[in-house]
Structure 1
């Protein structure tokens, strides 16, 4: 399912909702433990896990961008800067697993927005596969598919 995108006063909100048949603690570890994090988003590393802490993004050219953690509640909320935008993960327990919401606050829609949304979409799918003990997903092929879908969606807002 595509992210739900809404126009808001300060820009746009893209909201991904996923149900996982795993505990909050199990899913949280994939968002915050560097050994697990690198398996679904190789460029990210948690440096200091707290509000005001830092996550680094490896730009692939020997430089790193620092992403500030702007909201943090253990096992519940992780939010950090994403360029001029913000990315927020929210976890809540359900009777059979947990709910993961990924919310991206987007200041301005650009040609890159569909790429980011397709990337987040695939990342969430990969987290689920990793939790299931599988890695049989062609990330590139999946990204191409979802990128085409998000280009159509984003065109509605540009």
Structure 2
């Protein structure tokens, strides 16, 4: 059963360029997101990172699918030991002189259903709301 995509929307008191740099510059990403060894906002670029909680860590394998600076970044989101396949899309829109709306869409989450509560939609919802509602917000608004 395919579920609807998870969509999280936030507006930040920061320029679109500042937010774009935060989501595409690996040195900035490690300050609020994950510590990526390498990242390039280039179609076809493959990257990996490890994330999880205090009990278990998961290797995430991703590939950039679409780049339209400073408005859109889309990449796959898969796991090393899980057969699921999903896509994360970041859409940025300038909504004022120093305001940016970010709409994050995570599509394909039902492909991860394997009985592990970390792969339930509720877990992704909590994670993305924390990342966009706290981590990214605090980072870009403090710059």
Per the alignment, residue 101 of structure 1 pairs with 103
TM-score, normalized by length of structure 2? Answer: 0.74
Deviations 1:69-110 (A, max 9, x none): 111111111111111111110001112411100001024173
Alpha-carbon contact 1:89-1:102 (below 8 Å) kept: yes
After superposition, residues 63-142 of structure 1 pair within 5 angstroms as 65-83=60-78, 84-96=85-97, 97-108=99-110, 110=113, 111=117, 112=119, 113-124=121-132, 125-133=134-142
Q: TM-score, normalised to structure 1's length?
A: 0.68
Q: Which runs of 5+ in 1 are unaligned?
A: 1-8, 135-158
2:124 partner SS: helix
Post-superposition shift, 1:36? 1.0
Structure number with higher relative contact order (C-alpha < 8 Å, ≥ 6 residues apart): 2
Q: Tell me, in whole angstroms, the C-alpha distance in 2 between the residues paired with 1:42 and 1:107.
A: 20
Report the alpha carbon displacement of residue 54 of structure 1 after superposing the two structures with TM: 2.1
The whole-number CA distance in structure 2 between the counterparts of 1:128 and 1:27 is 9
Q: Give the unaligned 5+ runs of structure 2.
A: 79-84
1:42 matched residue in structure 2:
34
Deviation at 1:10, TM superposition (A): 5.2
Which secondary structure state, in structure 2, belongs to the residue aligned with residue 12 of structure 1? coil
Q: In structure 2, the residue corresponding to 1:130 is in which secondary structure? A: helix
Secondary structure, counterpart of 1:115 in structure 2: helix
